[in-house]
Structure 1
Amino acid sequence: MLYDAADEPATLTPAELHEAYEAELRAAIEGLDADAVASETGVSAETIRALAAGESPSLTLSEAAAILAVDGPDADAIVQEVRDHLLMGMTTGVLDVDTIASNVDLDLSGQEVQQAIEGRTRMTLAELAAIHNYVAGRNAH
């Protein structure tokens, strides 16, 4: 799953963690037809082709989960596991959303971070990487 794409996410930059997510997505679609993956996931074939070619198309957590679900568990289960993992990390690290918002390089308020983690607004993989990296870093100390 995305939350374990890197063994030690706290040792990576958010950009490197984002790359690890994309590598996991590429592995899930390796050798598959882009049109078939697009049909199954609802993600455009152009985006699937770009990802397979090593590019970094903008993807949401939900789209990434749909791609992973091609070769694994249900997309909703993947999204829920990622959210649960973040929330557990926040609990362990005694973190609140305002602290996260003020310490990540995102243009999000604490309320927007909370909404993204809870799934009330879309979260991009880049946002997930920044939040995941910060939470993991706090828990590594």
Structure 2
Amino acid sequence: MLYDEIDDPGEMTPTELHGRYAAELSETISSVGIDEVVELTGLDRETVESIADGETADDLSLEDAAAILATEEGTPEKDAILLEVRDHLLMGMTTGLLDVDTLARDIDGDFEARAVQQKIEGRAPMSVEEYALVHHAIAQRNDR
């Protein structure tokens, strides 16, 4: 669920990780149904349809992705998914002895340490694309 089904995320590129997340979301929408996902998440139909068609939806928030995943029966609620994802990132940082300054430098993007910290903690929105960058950087650091 956004991380636990991907073996060796540090060996992939952030783009490949993002593609995997998009595939997982697409599978969920296919399983649940577009109408049901739209109704349960409040997302607009066009967005849900594009994700169902396999588009990566670069600006899709992690919160919206969690809402989509939560529509599948037997899956935790959106907030539980978000807490699990954030906990996974923080535990990865702890395991890798990684602080936000180092993480910000390792991420292939224009992130400042404060922004990275706020996104990981859920105090600032994070897109699925940004999550792929952060997840990859942490996994890659832990693979060293």
TM-score (norm 2): 0.93
Asked whether 1:130 is paired with 2:133, we answer yes
Q: Matched residue of 1:30: which SS?
A: helix
Output the CA distance in 2 between the equivalents of 1:21 and 1:126. 9
Question: Structure 1 stretch 130-139 or stretch 50-59: which is displaced more?
Answer: 50-59
Please list the CA deviations of residues 41-73 of structure 1 after superposition, one character each: whole Å capped at 9, or x if unmatched.
122111110011111212111000000000111
**Does the C-alpha gap of structure 1 residues 49 and 91 become closer, same or farther in structure 2, counting only changes over 3 Å?**
same
Please, which of 104, 110, 123 is the counterpart of residue 107 of structure 1? 110
Residue type at the aligned position of 1:61: L
Matches within 5 A, 1:15-34: 15-34=15-34
Output the CA distance in 2 between the equivalents of 1:5 and 1:108. 27
Cross-structure match for 1:11: 11
Residue type at the aligned position of 1:70: T
Matches within 5 A, 1:77-116: 77-116=80-119
Please list the CA deviations of residues 85-133 of structure 1 after superposition, one character each: whole Å capped at 9, or x if unmatched.
0000000000011111111122220000000000000000111000100
Aligned residues: CA RMSD = 1.1
Which residues of structure 2 form unaligned runs of 5+? none
Query: 1:36: Cα distance to partner?
Result: 2.3
TM-score (norm 1): 0.95
Q: How many residues align?
A: 141
Which residues of structure 1 form unaligned runs of 5+? none
**Does the C-alpha gap of structure 1 residues 31 and 94 become closer, same or farther in structure 2, counting only changes over 3 Å?**
closer
Cross-structure match for 1:36: 36
Identity of aligned residues (%): 51
Output the CA distance in 2 between the equivalents of 1:2 and 1:21. 6
Residue type at the aligned position of 1:122: P
